[in-house]
Structure 1
Amino acid sequence: MDLLRSLPIGLYLEKPLTWLHKLDPRVKLAWLMSLILSPLLANVYWRIFLVLFLIIITGLALIPWRVQKKQLSFLLFFSTLIFIMTSFAPDGFNITYQPRLPNSEISITQPTDFQYIIYQIGKFKITQRSFDLAIRVSTLFFTLIYSSNLYLLTTASEQITAGMEELLSPLRKFKIPITEIILTLTLALRFIPLVLEEIQNLIRSIRTRAINWKKLGIKKSMQVWVIVAERLLENILLRAEQISIAMEVRGFTTPNQHQVQWHQLKLSIFDFLAILSLILFWIARISIGSN
């Protein structure tokens, strides 16, 4: 088991370099926030459009199927499960309506094909409200997770922090320690693979010892896992100490005096086209996607 490669969400794709990789991280962050905020108070058609839009963008970026296989199958499975559960869930309108006036022999209104109950199996039924709510919830779940995952898939952690520092730089006028916050975020992103590696090594060490958990019982099994947790904490603290020593050896004093520029952020022609597309995206959202 390789935790660093088996996790389906949040991995950075180093190769091949697609056109999404080459976009400025600030532009991609603006697109990410737009994809997250645009479903709010949007109609059903706009939410379905966002799902199709993300899938089309992934296809145009020529991201390998071996990378997308686990991620798309995982999200589509849970989105479909949420859709089915919400469709058959009660819609909250369990009220028996009774007309105020008696039925007239002469019908004034014209009959329509509208049916509030779309489908019914025994006591379970799909109504217009539950069906609409199922589409909203499932598409929102897919859009939020997949857009964030696509951003992490095509943007390195150093680019993310560099872009955030540029966007948050005006807050320095209010004496907010932006550089310290970004440095902490960078170290945290760099520290996650080390934690996964330590967990992976401990799990492999337990498997090689072929422990018979049935003979140990619940009490002794819990004692073993407590020892493993203590060992994991010791290894993580040791890694953190090694990182701090390495920074001190390299002459690190404060984030403001010892800045390392990982990436020189500069907007290209493709970034301006992406910004123009983002403006058109919000025009379409306001004119078409509103309820």
Structure 2
Amino acid sequence: MDLLRSLPLGLYLEQPQTWLHKIDPRVKFAWLMSFLTSYTFATNEWRLLLVAVLIIVTLVARIPQRVWKQQMVWLLMLSFFVFIITAASPDGLGIDYQPRLPTNEQVFTQPSTTNTTQPISKAIINNQKYSYTLFQAGPVKVTRRSLDLAVRLSTILFTVIYSTNLYLLTTAPEEITSGIESLMQPLRRLKLPVTEITLTLTLSLRFIPLVLEEVQNLIRSVMTRAINWKKLGLKGAVKLWMIVAERLLENLLLRAEQMANAMMVRGFTSPNGHRVVWHDLRLQARDWLAIAALTLFWGVRVVSGNRF
């Protein structure tokens, strides 16, 4: 099992360089925030559209299939199971549902004496019967509210995880920190440590592969010892995994200490005194095209994507 390949969370794809890699990190960050915020108070159609857009962008960008196939399939399966479980679960409304139309429908079919009420009676007759319960088979009951909650939960699960991963996949950690630092420049007037915050973010992004590597090594060490889990029992298994978790924490603290010592040996005193300009952030023609598409994105969201 190789976690760095089967679970590429937070890893940057260096090759091949797609058109998503070449877009300015600030523009991509704006797109990411748009995906995460436009979901609020949106219709279910808009939420499903966000999922479709993410899948289409992945295919159009020509990202290697080995990178996204397994991850997208597992995430879609997880979202599907969340959808099924939520739709079949109780909706939380402890009330008795009554039909919209009365039991005696002959009142609506009687001819009216005045011309003003005739269109109203025809509209009532032509209306389809409303039902709050969409499907019911034994204990399984799907209502309009449970279906709405299922769509909301499953789509937000896919959108949040996959949009963030796609951003990290096509943007180098140095580009992310440079872009965020550029966007946070106005906060310097409030005497906020912008450079220190971006440095911490850079170290955190660089630390993700180290965490996966340590977890992978510990799992392999447990598997190579051919432990008989049946003889251990529940108490023994919990005790063993607690020892593994303790060892993992010790290894991560050791890695962090090694990283700090390496910075001190190189004479690092403060982020402002040892700044390294990784990228020259300039908006190109493709960036302005992405900004125009983002403007159109929010225009469609405001016009037709509001839930209320």
State the TM-score, normalized to the length of structure 2: 0.85
What is the match of residue 56 of structure 2? 56
Q: Is the 8 A contact 2:51 2:159 kept in 1?
A: yes
From the superposition, tell whether residues 125 and 98 of structure 1 become closer, same or farther in structure 2 (CA, over 3 Å).
closer
Q: What RMSD over aligned residues (CA atoms) do the two structures have, in Å?
A: 2.4
- 1:19 to partner: Cα distance: 0.4
1:72 aligns with 2:88: no
Q: Per-residue CA shift, 1:69-110, capped at 9, x if unaligned? A: 112111211111122122222232631438898736332431
The one-letter amino acid paired with 1:288 is S
Counterparts of 1:157-168 in structure 2, within 5 Å, are 157-168=173-184
CA contact (8 A) 2:11 2:209 kept: no
Match of 1:153 in 2: 169
Q: Distance in 1 between matches of 2:137 and 2:10?
A: 39
User: Secondary structure of 1:261's match?
Assistant: coil
8 Å CA contact 1:118–1:126 kept in 2: the answer is yes
Q: Which whole-Å CA distance do the structure 1 matches of 2:137 and 2:39 have between them?
A: 31
Name 2:290's counterpart in structure 1.
Answer: 274
How far has the Cα of 1:111 moved from its partner?
Answer: 4.0
From 202, 215, 220, the counterpart of 1:186: 202
The 5-angstrom pairing of residues 25-44 of structure 1 reads 25-44=25-44
**CA–CA distance in 2 between the matches of 1:61 and 1:166?**
26
Alignment of structure 1 residues 195-274 onto 2, 5 Å: 195-216=211-232, 224-274=240-290
Partner residue, 1:87: 87
Which stretch of the first structure deviates more once superposed, 120-129 or 49-58?
Answer: 120-129
Cα deviation, residue 254, structure 1:
0.6
Contact kept in structure 1, 2:99 and 2:130, CA below 8 Å: no
Q: Distance in 2 between matches of 1:84 and 1:191?
A: 36
- Asked if the contact 1:88–1:130 (Cα under 8 Å) also holds between the matched residues in 2, the reply is yes
Distance 1:141 1:239, change over 3 A: closer
Corresponding position of 1:121:
137
Going from structure 1 to structure 2, the CA distance change for 1:164 and 1:93 (only over 3 Å counts) comes to same
Q: Counterparts of 2:69 and 2:203 in 1: how far apart (Å)?
A: 30
Contact conserved, 2:100 with 2:130, CA < 8 A, in 1?
no
Quickly say closer, same or farther: Cα 1:3–1:86, change in 2 above 3 A.
Answer: same
Distance in 1 separating the partners of 2:148 and 2:248: 46
Q: Which runs of 5+ in 2 are unaligned?
A: 109-120
Structure 2 vs 1, CA of residues 229 and 120 (structure 1 numbering), >3 Å: closer, same or farther?
Answer: closer
Question: Could you tell me how far 1:11 is from its partner in structure 2?
Answer: 3.0
Q: Secondary structure at the match of 1:110?
A: helix
Q: Is the 8 Å Cα contact of residues 9 and 71 (structure 1) preserved in structure 2?
A: no
Shift of 1:62: 0.8
| Kept after mapping to 2: 8 A contact 1:8/1:70 | no
**1:132 partner SS:** helix
Structure 2 residue 125 is matched with structure 1 residue 110: yes
Q: Alignment partner of 2:184: what SS?
A: helix
1:239-267 C-alpha deviation (Å, 9 max, x unpaired): 22221222122221111111112222221
Cα distance in structure 2, aligned partners of 1:204 and 1:99:
62
Q: Structure 1 residues 220 and 36 mapped into 2: Cα distance closer, same or farther (>3 Å)?
A: closer
Deviation at 1:190, TM superposition (A): 1.2
Question: In 1, distance between residues paired with 2:99 and 2:302?
Answer: 39
| Same amino acid, percent of matched pairs | 57
**CA gap 1:159/1:93 in 2 versus in 1, 3 angstroms:** same
| Cα shift at 1:114 | 3.9
Q: 1:236 to 1:138 in 2, by over 3 A?
A: closer
Query: In structure 2, what residue type is equivalent to 1:110?
Result: I
Q: Does residue 1:140 correspond to 2:156, yes or no? A: yes
> Matched residue of 2:106: which SS?
coil
2-side partners of 1:113 and 1:101: how far apart? 14
CA distance change for structure 1 residues 170 and 199 in 2, over 3 Å: closer, same or farther? same
Supply the AA of the counterpart residue of 2:285. Answer: I
CA distance in 1, matches of 2:103, 2:248: 74
Task: Tell me the SS of whatever aligns to 1:106.
Answer: helix
Distance 2:270 2:89 in 1: 55
